[in-house]
Chain A
Amino acid sequence: MSPTQQLLQNADLISQGAEAKVYKAYLRQLPTSGQARNAASDSPDHEVLEPVLLKYRFHKQYRHPSLDTSLTRQRIAGESRALMRCMKSGVNVPGIRMVDANEGVLGIEWIEGKSVRQLLPGGAELEDINELEEMDEVDDTDATDALAEYGVSRDALMDMIGVEIAKMHSSDVIHGDLTTSNMMLKKKTRDLVLIDFGLAYYSTLVEDKAVDLYVLERAFASTHPDSEPLFSGVLAAYEKRTGKNWVPIKRRLDDVRLRGRKRSMVG
């Protein structure tokens, strides 16, 4: 078995999507006591390994194997490049820790924290496998409590979301799948971190940025009750950060909303 397959085998599955399985894993192991004695090195016993998140784009049976491998490779290259572009632009995203394009695995920094979805009312229903165990604990009061525990107000959270998206758009990265599941609040630093760049791409077009925002607006509306004031908070911070480029994006966002409504009226 290949090294990366072995790594996956010893990892904890945390979510399974249509394109990828996501795991928590460790890239190396602490020594067994026998090894530690042999090594004659005083590698600290108290050493704590940092986990990583592994995103495994598994093979698609219906695709030709070599086409599948090259598509997977492109996706991983694309996701890595988007993350790198964000990092260089000062957008909070996880760092990259390991890439095995042959096996379809991208390893990124583990963010200890909660998704924004879990931190807002309505988002507490089952989101990933881990939460199965926590089921009885989750309801809306928990979302509010969790946010309070982080010492972050709901308004401040919306503000951070707007700022990170504005930074990302000003570096011409379009996320492609903005939802409250794809952003996390980091416990240690209280930073808002954007995740899941699997559908991200580069574009300078106002249309693409407006659609990105519209997708998030829809996600808020479908997941979180009474989301309008929340999303206005996001847009206000986005506007402030975006400055003079806001007007055309705002105009286009109104267009996109109108198109969306017409489409839903036609059915």
Chain B
Amino acid sequence: MMETYYYSQFNHAVVHVALFDDVTNSTAIRSRIIQAARILGVDGDTEREAINFAFIDARLISSLLHLQTAIYQALLSEAQGQLRTKTIHSEILWALNPTNNITEAIRRYGVSDASTTLIVIRVDVSNILDVQRRMCDIVQGSMVTFEALKQMTDWSTIKKHYKLDAEPALKEVQGKQDRERAIVNNIIVSSVAMKNVVA
């Protein structure tokens, strides 16, 4: 169910992504992330490594392509020494948000107390062992295939964040839900891809 992507052009980076439904411990995950930054010494390093993932609320993700595009642009920024945030994982959140505000990106796309669907991502230089188990250790919920993403996407919030409601492309297909979603997906995937050049 977990998906793994291979990128030889980024020093053979390997990216693992998994989708969780019925998540019950998002508050705990969030506080673990905040706490981990404060713990000193070896314990801190261990804890930081344990939660060294991107946690993304699945509601604002419209498709796997949307996610893959943000991952790609984050890998590119890292390779060019141009990360806008501290890590590749937070950079993925930054890439997903239409504005340049990092706090807003984390608030909107990161795990919140209300998250019940989560996407977990790990970017690594090679295949690490037990990634899937380590994800499941953190997230209480059920890992599902990305087929299930369709039922999780909150299209109206996405349209609001990207200010798409008044666009002619959407008006033209009013009432045709599938067409509209395909158009919104195409617009936001493209926005993520071009963010570096307009930002």
Contact = CB atoms under 8 A, between A and B. Distances in A.
A2 B79 contact: yes
B198 A81 contact: yes
Nearest to B169: A90
A96 B65 CA distance: 11
Given A40-B132, A41-B2, A4 B187 contact: no
Interface string B6-20: 111110001010000
A186 B173 CA distance: 20
B4 A87 contact: no
Nearest to B187: A87
A83 B8 contact: no
A41 B75 contact: no
Given A42-B1, A84-B191, A101-B196, A90 B172 contact: yes
Contacts, number: 120
Given A41-B16, A77-B197, A98-B72, A171 B189 contact: no
Nearest to A76: B197
B158 to A, nearest CB: 14
Contacts of B191: 84
B129 to A, nearest CB: 8
For this complex, into which size category does the number of interface residues on chain A fall?
35 or more
Contact of B190 (A40, A77, A95): A95
A87 B72 contact: no
B69 interface: yes
Contacts of A41: 1-4, 16, 131-132
Given A87-B187, A90-B169, A39 B4 contact: yes
Contacts of A39: 2, 4, 14, 16, 127, 131
Contact of B3 (A3, A35, A43, A83): A43
A30 interface: yes
A51 to B, nearest CB: 13
Main secondary structure of the interface of B (DSSP, over half): helix
A2 B80 CA distance: 8
B189 A88 contact: no
Contact of B168 (A27, A90, A101, A107): A90
Given A39-B4, A42-B1, A97 B183 contact: no
Nearest to A91: B169
B164 interface: yes
A29 interface: yes
Interface in A1-44: 2-4, 6-7, 10, 27-31, 35, 38-43
A27 B64 CA distance: 14
B178 interface: no
Contacts of A100: 76, 196
B5 to A, nearest CB: 5
B4 A96 contact: no
A42 B4 CA distance: 8
Interface in B147-199: 164, 167-169, 172-173, 183, 186-187, 189-191, 193-194, 196-198
Given A80-B197, A98-B72, 4 more contacts: A4-B76, A29-B8, A88-B168, A99-B196
